[in-house]
Amino acid sequence: MYDVDVLDYKLLTPDQQKKAQYFCKEKYFKYVLELTDRLNFHHRVKYDSKFWSKALNFWLYRNICITYDKYIALREINLDSFDLSILDESSFTTPKTCDQSLKLLSFAPYGVEQLASIYFNLFSSQKIKTFSLKTFDYSCVETGTTPNLKSISKFDRLILFFKKLAVKRKIINKLKKGILRIVNNQFTAKIGLLEAYISTDFLLSVSFKSLFTIQEIQFPSLGVLKDKAIDEDSRSKIFQFEKDFDDFDKYFFESMKSLMPCSFIENFDEIYSLSNDYDNNMSHIISEAWLGNEFLSIKLAIMQRDNIKHIHTQHGWVHFNSLNLTWLESYLCDVYLTSGFGMSSLPNVERGGYVREKYPVIKNKYRDGVVFFSTTSPAYTYQIDENIRDLSFFNYLNKQINFIGMLKNDLFKEFYYRKYPVDHGWGELGALTSYFPNLKFDNIHQRGLDRLINAKLVIFDVFSTGYIEALIANTPTVIIFDKDIRQLSKEFEHLIDRLSEINIVFYNIDDAARHINAVYENPFKWWDSEEVQREIKIFLESTARDRKYSENYILKLLK
């Protein structure tokens, strides 16, 4: 047995997280200005802070959060009272891209070891022993893989039918887009759609109505970045300390010597050159997928620098949480076009409509199963927001176990647990099956959207894209919002309370389980009631309006 002390986690309560987010926001705006001067000097350019904040996308804020999370824990240690052994600098890993940075620091303990070693080396007054490790292998962390879970539904034939429909839709949509590209070649784009998550029907509609001056812009593959030696001298200069730096500033800048991705230093010129090719006749570019992708964000930074306005379409539906990152999305774009909601705290919000794919509503008699859509987050903090993190995940998993245990035996027979599609390494399936050996797991190789439109009842425990898709598909839906882990934004509290009054939103697992036990045999008796349908319509009018509102806004830009 090892004699191990575990540091208290400092960001367990919503109040602690709120204070931490405020601290990290302040540092973010300070560091944007610092890095603008330093990166300009290194690359011999004169770009403004707007360019660099866009190019650095969510990576900068995320890494401030990651570093702060370690800082507030490690500063509790009396360094001189321990016999320390830390990772040797020769073993430090420098990520090439933002994606590698996320894998290193939030999905694997290697990055945590590196951050802790940097802290000890920086602040300890004694000489510390070091040890070496092999270079971190990114292939051991796959952020997009899914476990091999086999569906054991009696209705596999029905699921296969919907899969075939989905494949058929994809083929038809590709044909439509292919024909549209041929037509687009005859016209000049005035508004571009670049990696925007929109439906094919929406794309066709705005293209025809604009006489093909609104076009989807293809983002060319940039290939594999060249392997360049880490420029340690330049990194030391870029991240040198200023006289007014506090301890956190010093820790963050010291850690960035090895942890800033090569995309922004060694490979920046290469990415810039590949991205500096676009049609400068455009007045606006609409894009959503750039948030953690520096290849896209650098291209958009170039376009914004050249006075092409960036319209960011709403990425997710987490704005009900008080710790959402809509402030950052809004700050980094010219116009934040939502799917329906407005936010008084954000100056550049435009209320649009729901532009993603909509599936037909399936008749009740063809629907199968009660499906619980679970969620997880990376093992280590990657941004201080609404996501579950670190030790609070065990509290969350315990509540899941208690919730499933409250379900009636007959309901349990048609209950499916749908694992989050990304395996974050928590091992929750093993924990669940140790309590419930007969628990059925939904087939996550089938798209979530395909599954929720043919389920009899769906359950969510987080406000995300899935619950909006379920409400649009008119699938009976229950949302469990745990106020012990998350806080509601005051601006949207009244909307959520109205859903709570009609038994769609529950603030504790006991009430949610009681309601599901009462309605699961025929959930449509409750769901199709005049009151419930009226309130869903009101809710969607505020959060996922008809796509015409986005269409009209974009088309007006051409006048």
What angle (nearest 5°) sits at the alpha carbon of residue 402, between those of residues 399 and 404? 110
CA separation (Å) from 185 to 179, 181, 206, 216, 294? 10, 6, 16, 11, 28
pLDDT for the residue numbered 466: 86
CA separation (Å) from 222 to 227, 270, 276, 489? 14, 10, 12, 40
Q: Are 525 and 462 in contact (CB under 8 A)?
A: no
Q: Are 300 and 54 in contact (CB under 8 A)?
A: yes
Residue in this structure with the two tokens 């919907």, named with its chain if needed = 162
Give the whole-angstrom CA distance, residue 341 versus residue 343.
Answer: 7
Q: Which residues of the chain have pLDDT under 70?
A: 1-8, 140-187, 220-224, 316-319, 322, 360, 364-366, 386-392, 485
Give the whole-angstrom CA distance, residue 22 versus residue 2.
Answer: 38
pLDDT for the residue numbered 182: 61
For 110, phi then psi, to 5°, come to: -60, -45
What is the signed CA dihedral for 349, 352, 353, 357, rounded to 10 degrees?
-80
pLDDT digits (tens, 9 = 90+) for 500-530: 999 999 999 999 999 999 999 999 999 999 9
All structural domains of the chain, each given as residue ranges with its CATH number in brackets, are 14-135+230-268 (no CATH), 358-543 (3.40.50.2000)
316 closest CA partner among 297, 334, 341: 341
How many residues are present in the chain?
Answer: 559
pLDDT for the residue numbered 28: 97
Q: Residue 326 burial (CB < 10 Å; 0-12/13-18/19+)?
A: buried
pLDDT for the residue numbered 439: 93
470 closest CA partner among 493, 443, 504: 504
User: What is residue 219's three-state secondary structure?
Assistant: coil
Q: Label the pairing between strands 349-351 and 370-373.
A: unpaired
Give the whole-angstrom CA distance, residue 398 versus residue 418.
Answer: 17
Helices (H), 124-260: 156-184, 200-209, 232-238, 247-259
Give the whole-angstrom CA distance, residue 166 versus residue 182.
Answer: 25
Residue 101: both structure tokens together:
């940075």
* Bridge partners, 415 (sequence order): 370
pLDDT for the residue numbered 261: 96
pLDDT for the residue numbered 169: 56
pLDDT for the residue numbered 188: 78
Q: Are 42 and 267 in contact (CB under 8 A)?
A: no
Rg (CA), the chain: 25
User: What is residue 492's three-state secondary structure?
Assistant: helix
